[in-house]
Amino acid sequence: MAVKLRLARMGSKKRPFYRIVAADARSPRDGRFLDRVGTYDPAKEDIVINDERLTYWQGVGAQPTTTVQRLIRRHRRSQAPA
């Protein structure tokens, strides 16, 4: 089973809110997922990622999509000490 780290859209119409999830690559975008890794709110530019779960899923071979990879980089940059 190929696992992807990707976004699942939540929220109301015209007010998107995304969950970063680990899901089977064959499942639909908003369908079944294995684990919730974090959230992304584009209105507030707020990225929350559970680093422990992210490390686990990457350790077992889950591949992030390009958008999720970009969000992970932004999250790590904001967490770095100044």
CATH number of domain containing 17 = 3.30.1320.10
CB distance 16 to 36 below 8 Å = no
Q: Encoding tokens for residue 34?
A: 């294995």
Q: What share of the chain is helix, strand, coil (3-state, %, to 5)?
A: 30, 40, 30
Tens of pLDDT, residues 15-47: 999 999 999 999 988 889 999 999 999 999 999
- Number of domains the chain contains: 1
| The model's pTM | 0.90
What's residue 82's pLDDT?
66
What's residue 40's pLDDT?
97
What's residue 53's pLDDT?
96
Residue numbers of the domain that contains 11: 3-79
